[in-house]
């Protein structure tokens, strides 16, 4: 059997490298609309062959769809139309509700497994791909009751081989929770980058001289690709608005304590925030 990867960026590339251990795969084949990515993917051993999308769909028993979420939504129905009855397709998008909704009444819905392997870095492209990206991280599988048992079994095998832990929830729950846990931190980081870049527009030297590790870590996500993130924000728009508003409320509580010199309340606020120490990211 062949595994076909559509989208050979950081995620698709890391899956390609991570799955090399699978001994039942004949060939890894791939496609990417970006020619440079495709070339890198061959050079880096992510896939054995680059072939056109239509051929990949025909020749793959398992298809991994690792492109931006708007792209997934767009091509998933037509891929489902074309794949054989035993083939499996899984996507890796960071939003799940719109994607699942798009194919909810597709006759081959059960061949699709909606997944979100939670891993990533601010850098994109196959040159940053690595076989350990997903090591011991969590993979959210959504609406799993709509996928066929054999399709589920292949999907979990694929993620297990990369040592991921499977978590199950509905696509609706996924999008709400991930709005807070992943999408909101990205917005916060983009906004912080814009704030300091604007503030120091004419003081570039001072900015470079004063930058410390604190700003570095809080603006790390602001380096993320708009091409990936705009479709995520669009797809998860309503949850995002709710999350941003909830966050601004918390920020304003702090601000108002400061304005009203309620320093004891600021102390309590920080002490409660310190509880984040107990949340270990594996």
- Contact set for a second copy, span 85-144 (CB under 8 A): 118-121, 137-138, 140
Cβ atoms of residues 270 and 276 within 8 Å: no
Q: What is the DSSP string of 213-224?
A: HHHHHHTGGGGS
> Which listed residue (23, 105, 202, 274) binds a second copy by CB under 8 A?
274
Report if residue 200 touches a second copy, rule: CB under 8 A.
Answer: yes
- Contact criterion met (CB below 8 Å) for 27 and 50: no
Site for a second copy in 141-160 (CB under 8 A): none
Q: Exactly one of 112, 175, 187, 235 binds a second copy (CB under 8 A); which one?
A: 187
Q: CB-wise, 20 or 268, nearer to a second copy? A: 268
Residue 202 Cβ vs a second copy, minimum distance, rounded to whole Å: 12
Is residue 237 near a second copy by the rule CB under 8 A? Answer: yes
- The answer to whether the Cα torsion of 158, 164, 168, 171 is positive or negative is negative
Alpha helices of the chain — where are they, by DSSP H?
10-18, 35-43, 53-59, 69-82, 97-102, 149-161, 171-178, 184-199, 204-210, 213-218, 226-235, 237-259, 263-273
Structure tokens at 216: 């570095």
Neighbours of 99 (CB within 10 A): 25
Of the candidate spans 2-10, 17-25, 32-40, 166-174, the one that interacts with a second copy by CB under 8 A turns out to be 166-174
Can you give the length of the chain in residues? 282
Q: How far apart are the first and last CA of the chain?
A: 33
Decide: residue 154, CB within 10 A, 0-12 exposed, 13-18 middle, 19+ buried. buried
Q: How far is the CB of 29 from a second copy (least distance, A)?
A: 29
How far apart CA 3 and CA 155 sit, in angstroms, is: 12
Q: Which of 85, 279 has the CB closer to a second copy? A: 279
Residue closer to a second copy (CB basis): 28 or 190: 190
* 48 vs 122, beta carbon nearer a second copy: 122
Which listed range, 1-9, 82-90, 153-161, 251-259, lies at the site for a second copy (CB under 8 A)? 251-259
The span of 1-9, 45-53, 95-103, 171-179 binding a second copy (CB under 8 A) equals 171-179
Size of the site for a second copy (CB under 8 A): 91
Q: Does the footprint of a second copy cover residue 163 (CB under 8 A)?
A: no
Residue 109 or 262: the one with the smaller Cβ distance to a second copy is 262
Give, as ranges, the residues between 12 and 71 that touch a second copy (CB under 8 A): none
């Amino acid at each position: 059997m062949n595994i076909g990867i559509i989208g050979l960026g950081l995620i698709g590339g890391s899956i390609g490298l991570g799955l090399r251990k699978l001994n039942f795969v004949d060939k890894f084949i791939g496609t990417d609309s970006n020619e440079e990515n495709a070339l890198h993917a061959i050079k880096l051993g992510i896939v054995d062959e680059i072939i056109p999308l239509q051929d990949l769909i025909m020749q793959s028993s398992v298809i991994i769809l690792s492109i931006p979420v708007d792209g997934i939504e767009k091509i998933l129905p037509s891929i489902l139309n074309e794949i054989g009855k035993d083939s499996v397709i899984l996507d890796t998008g960071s939003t799940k509700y719109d994607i699942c909704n798009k194919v909810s009444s597709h006759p081959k819905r059960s061949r699709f497994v909606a997944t979100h392997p939670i891993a990533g870095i601010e850098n994109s492209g196959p040159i940053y791909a690595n076989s350990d990206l997903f090591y011991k991280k969590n993979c959210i599988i959504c609406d799993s009751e709509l996928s066929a048992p054999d399709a589920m079994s292949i999907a979990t095998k694929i993620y297990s081989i990369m040592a991921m832990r499977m978590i199950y929830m509905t696509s609706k729950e996924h999008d709400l929770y991930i709005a807070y846990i992943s999408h909101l931190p990205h917005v916060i980081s983009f906004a912080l980058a814009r704030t300091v870049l604007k503030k120091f527009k004419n003081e570039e030297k001072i900015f470079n001289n004063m930058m410390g590790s604190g700003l570095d870590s809080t603006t790390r996500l602001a380096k993320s690709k708009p091409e990936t993130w705009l479709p995520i924000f669009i797809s998860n728009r309503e949850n995002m608005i709710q999350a941003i508003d909830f966050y601004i409320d918390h920020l304003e509580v702090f601000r108002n304590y400061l304005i009203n010199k309620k320093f004891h309340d600021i102390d309590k606020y920080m002490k409660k925030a310190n509880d984040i120490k107990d949340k270990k990211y594996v």
